[in-house]
Amino acid sequence: MESKRSLKGANNVLVDLGFEDAEELTAKASLAVKLNDLVEKRGLSQTEVAAITGMTQPKVSQVRRYKLQNISLERLMQALVSLDQRVEIVVRPARSTHGPGITVAA
Enclosing domain of residue 72: 22-82
Query: Would 95 be classed as within a structural domain?
Result: no
State the pTM of this model. Answer: 0.76
CATH number (domain holding residue 44): 1.10.260.40
Query: Would 3 be classed as within a structural domain?
Result: no
Tell me how many domains the chain contains. Answer: 1
pLDDT in tens, the chain (106 residues): 555 555 555 566 655 666 677 788 889 999 999 999 999 999 999 999 999 999 999 999 999 999 998 999 999 999 999 999 999 888 888 777 667 766 777 6
Q: Which amino acid is at 68?
A: L
Query: Would 2 be classed as within a structural domain?
Result: no
Query: Would 97 be classed as within a structural domain?
Result: no
Q: What per-residue string of b and e applies to 28-52 under the rule 16 or more CB within 10 Å gives b?
A: bbbbbebbbebbeeeebebeebbeb
